[in-house]
Amino acid sequence: NLDTLGAEGVRYERCYVNGTICTPSRASLWTGKHIPGHGVHALHDCLPEDEVMFPKRLQAAGYETALFGKLHVSGHYREYDRRHPNDGFDVYEWASDPKGPWGMDNAYLQWLEGRDPDLRQAIRNGDPIGHIPAESHMTTWAAERTIEYLDARRDSDKPFFCCMSVFDPHSPYTNHPEEAESVLGDLPDVIAGDQPFTGRPIAHEMERKWGPKVPEPETLDRFRIGYHAAVAHIDRQVGRVLDALEKTGLGDRTLVIFTSDHGDMLGDHGLMTKGAYFYDACTRVPMIARAPGIGSRVEEAPVQLHDIASTCLQAAGTSSDETGKWSPDGVSLLDADKLHRRNRAVCLYRNSGNCNKPEIGYRGYFDPPIHGMMCYADGYKVNVYHSPEPDEDHPQGEIYDLSEDPNEMENLWDADAVQVLRSRTIGEAMDWLALDGVRGRARGEDASGIGLREGHSAV
């Protein structure tokens, strides 16, 4: 189903997340700003309450807006406790983790009361839960609620925005045995699972020591099958939503976007999950956009999650000048001319979670801290770590020529041939980093006066 969506729309081959951790990337998606602009740098940070998410701008202009699933623009405990005042959703059916009972308004748990009351009670009790049946899974719930929402809108002239947001694919990779057989023949090989950590920044060594460990091969194989089975289940549920769009007659006037907030190393380069590293397995994610009249193509220009806000609003009729006031780095995914003038994507890591160092505690932050940034430009990836200090076995950064080395095996950081590129890219990235927070600080501004084309919707 996702292959079909990609064939019918635009597939963006170089979509890089804004941050390697969930919360910063999702905050960028919903605000239309890069990380310095909204200030959510780490896993447990909270989006400032005067930040405005783009659904509120649609809402103020007459759109009906709906969320089914995960938001995660702030640390979990903030979202469990209360909504963000500027999220902009008329329909807010929030759920974060399929096994998490937290929060008074967990819509997934409410749905389970009728679908699978025993599972609901087990989750509420905090009982150990392994496999969740496909028919009771959070991804299935999000799809079914999205389909019901679309069906209710088949005769409405009011434009709408709807987001189906799921937890998977995500550790602990224990669900979807129903899909496992379908992915066995398509699993990619592990990339350099036994690669030594010398010649790479010391942050990687810290992640291996204090972060999630790569398990034994048999367990890793099971994890990888579980991850890809979760993707297969998402594909199946997305197909149901796309079918509903056609059955309701909404498909020929609806913009559809599919993406993810981060990837997963799954053993590549001797690392697991996500964290203080910028390999494509962690930072490069799917991005597909399908809309009436845009045709189909493969786009090589770099795009990022904060471009989604500009895309949705400009597809609805908002001018690029208007969106540029609050999303200075955003470019509409549908504006090929502007995309082709962009040659850079930046991803940031600011000391975040997933450190299991005993004196810090589970999911504490690294001490000494890890701070780094990635700049992709013109086929090269330049990664710089600001801390901790490099040593003779661990350089300060990495440079990969992705056209010749797509698996990121040969670190060119100290190679004579790339020193001009290294200096220029770091200088440009530092200039951007210094300026972006200033440009992106506009908050709490009036969201009214946004021009929209009648009858157009986004999902």
Distance CA 223, CA 215 (A): 9
Distance CA 92, CA 203 (A): 38
Domains of the chain: 2-440 (3.40.720.10)
pLDDT at 453 over 60: no
Q: What is the DSSP letter of 187?
A: P
Residue 120, number of CB atoms within 10 A of its CB? 20
Distance CA 224, CA 331 (A): 34
Residue type present at position 439: R
pLDDT at residue 64, as a whole number: 97
pLDDT for 27-81, tens place per residue? 999 999 999 999 999 988 999 999 999 999 999 888 999 999 999 999 888 888 8
Q: How many residues does the chain have?
A: 459
Do 395 and 374 touch, CB atoms closer than 8 A? no
Q: Where residue 418 falls among pLDDT bands split at 50, 70, 90?
A: very high
**What residues does 258 pair with on adjacent strands?**
288
pLDDT at residue 459, as a whole number: 46
Residue 356 half-sphere exposure toward CB, CA atoms < 13 A? 7
pLDDT at residue 403, as a whole number: 97
Distance CA 45, CA 386 (A): 20
Phi-psi region of 192 (alpha: psi -120 to 50; beta: other; left: phi over 0): left
Sheet holding 397-401, edge to edge: 344-350, 371-377, 380-387, 397-401
* Coil vs helix vs strand at 360: coil
Q: What's the mean per-residue pLDDT of the chain?
A: 89
Q: Which of 14-18, 344-348, 455-459 has the lowest mean pLDDT?
A: 455-459
Distance CA 310, CA 331 (A): 6
Overall average pLDDT of the 362-387 stretch = 88
pLDDT at residue 3, as a whole number: 96
Pairing type for strands 254-259 and 287-290 reads: antiparallel
pLDDT for 304-350, tens place per residue? 999 999 999 998 888 888 898 889 899 999 999 999 999 899 999 99
pLDDT at residue 359, as a whole number: 64
pLDDT at residue 457, as a whole number: 41
pLDDT at 273 over 70: yes
pLDDT at residue 104, as a whole number: 59
Q: Where residue 177 falls among pLDDT bands split at 50, 70, 90?
A: confident
Residue 262 φ/ψ, nearest 5 degrees: -175, 170
Overall average pLDDT of the 421-440 stretch = 84
Q: Where residue 172 falls among pLDDT bands split at 50, 70, 90?
A: confident
pLDDT at residue 194, as a whole number: 83
